[in-house]
Structure 1
Amino acid sequence: MIQVCLNGSRGAGDGASVPLSPGAMAESAARAVAAGAAEVHVHPKTPCGSDTLSPRVVAAVLEAIRGAVDVPVGVTTGAWAEPDPRRRVERVRAWTVLPDLASVNWHEPGAEEVASALLERGVGVEAGVWSGTDGARRFLASPLAPRVTRVLAEVTDRDPVTAPETARALLAALDAGGGAVGVPVLLHGEEEGAWPVLRLAVRRGMATRVGLEDTLLLPGGRPARSNAALVAAACALRDASRP
């Protein structure tokens, strides 16, 4: 399974191809799904381009994307979008339109409370476990771990040479807890480490993701013109690895 991550925390300065408005996100999602993406992950944005958990904005983004695609759609709950953990929970509980999934970074303060609020509302949780943090330890010790939809294993090592080894170490840390307590793992990297980690995920037959949130470049180093181009490249790598 390849998930497309449409925009992340990027803004207008990262290029015109990064979708920032609900309409642009919907169009980008439709093209990425047509290119082979099976899920969509998106960061709803304020008119100024900042990530937000605002119920009004989340609703507008989800309605726009769901009008363009018929696949699961997930959003972020990253602390940068709402630094106050209590306020983050309040935002989730105030959502009027619910995503299929929401990512919760387990190393962030308030992760357990945010995940609980999402589960109470019937939203699937992607447990964000980042390399270079104590996220794996915290997640494996959490009573909520068996209830999440998947682990989103994020390799923050951007060195294309060392990122795959960092990924292996992160997966080993999760396996030490019993295979991430029996839930699936989606493995991905970022920036220069994105494609080396994606190749590792493909070789292992794991779910992965790609999109302008994670990288602005195609495998050969050329700038990506769209999320669809990145998804098409990822699908080509996946298909080439099959017997």
Structure 2
Amino acid sequence: MMQVCLNGSRSAADGAMIPLSPQALAESAAEAVAAGATDVHVHPRTPCGRESLSPRVVAATLEAVRARVDVPVGVTTGAWVEPDPDARVARIRSWTVLPDHASVNWHEPGAEEVAAALVERGVGVEAGIWSGTEGAARFARSPLGGRVLRVLAEVTETGPGTAERTARELLGSLGDAFGRPVLLHGEDGGAWPVLRLARRLGLATRVGLEDVLVLPDGERARSNAQLVTAALAVRADGKGDTGVDTGGDGSRR
């Protein structure tokens, strides 16, 4: 599985290639899926670019993206979008269009309640377990552990030399993860080392402008599709991910 994370908390300040509007997200998703992505993760935005969990904003984004792709589409429920846990749960219960899945960061206040609200509505839960947090320990005690769609193991260590070690420690802390599939990914400087490790271990992974803005060779990425193409060129032995000349539409040149 190769998930594409289209935008995250990035903004226009990170570059014009960051998709923000429903239309831009839909176009970016379509290009990424054409390049080989099999799942989409998105942070819906208001017209002014602010992340939002409101039913109107979530519906507009999901409808636009689904009009262009036929793969599962998920959204975030990050506490930074809606800090109050009760308000976050209320937002989920008010959604008029449901995503296929939604990520829930298990170290955040209200994670259990948010996950339960998603399960009640038939939305798959990606259990976000971040390195450097109590997420793994809390998840191990969760009565919902066996009901999540998958575990989203996120390495927040961005040092290229230490990200792989942190990833292995994070995976060890998850134990059998209630038997649920694990998607392993990193951020910024740690994104490519962790993606290589995921490929070696045969785990699902993800790539996209939310996680990293550069290609394996350090060149600035021009699109999510270009990142997906580069990620799929990484073989399980970690080779095949240098010197890849990809176009903005994800095609090799």
Bin for the TM-score computed over the shorter chain: over 0.9
- Structure 1 letter corresponding to 2:50: S
Alpha-carbon deviation of 1:197?
0.2
Alpha-carbon deviation of 1:238?
3.5
Alpha-carbon deviation of 1:49?
1.3
What is the total number of aligned residue pairs between the two structures?
Answer: 239
Structural RMSD (CA):
1.1
Alpha-carbon deviation of 1:113?
0.3
Q: Quote the Cα distance in structure 2 between the aligned partners of 1:238 and 1:174.
A: 25
* 1:198 lines up with 2:195 in the alignment: yes
- 1:110 is aligned to 110
Q: Quote the Cα distance in structure 2 between the aligned partners of 1:4 and 1:170.
A: 21
- 1:74 is aligned to 74
Question: Where in structure 2 are the equivalents of 1:113-132 lying within 5 Å?
Answer: 113-132=113-132
* 1:154 lines up with 2:154 in the alignment: yes
Select which of 156, 165, 180 maps to 1:183: 180
Structure 1: where are the runs of 5+ without partners? none
Give TM-score scaled by structure 1 length.
0.97
Ranges of 4+ aligned residues in structure 1 off by more than 4 Å = 239-242
- Structure 2 letter corresponding to 1:121: R
Q: Quote the Cα distance in structure 1 between the aligned partners of 2:152 and 2:50.
A: 22
- 1:232 is aligned to 229
Q: Quote the Cα distance in structure 2 between the aligned partners of 1:3 and 1:239.
A: 17
Q: Which has the higher helix share?
A: 1
Q: Quote the Cα distance in structure 1 between the aligned partners of 2:29 and 2:236.
A: 21
8 Å Cα contact 2:38/2:71 also seen in 1: yes
- 1:15 is aligned to 15
Alpha-carbon deviation of 1:92?
0.2
- 1:222 is aligned to 219
Per-residue CA deviation, residues 106-139 of structure 1 (Å, 9 max, x unaligned), is 0000000000000000000000000000000000
- Structure 1 letter corresponding to 2:31: R
Question: Where in structure 2 are the equivalents of 1:15-94 lying within 5 Å?
Answer: 15-94=15-94
Q: Secondary structure at the match of 1:3?
A: strand
Give TM-score scaled by structure 2 length.
0.93
8 Å Cα contact 2:3/2:40 also seen in 1: yes
Greater shift in the superposed pair: 130-139 or 43-52? 43-52
Structure 2: where are the runs of 5+ without partners? 240-253
Q: Quote the Cα distance in structure 2 between the aligned partners of 1:183 and 1:42.
A: 22
Aligned-pair identity in percent equals 72
* 1:95 lines up with 2:95 in the alignment: yes
- 2:245 is aligned to none
Q: Quote the Cα distance in structure 1 between the aligned partners of 2:237 and 2:62.
A: 33
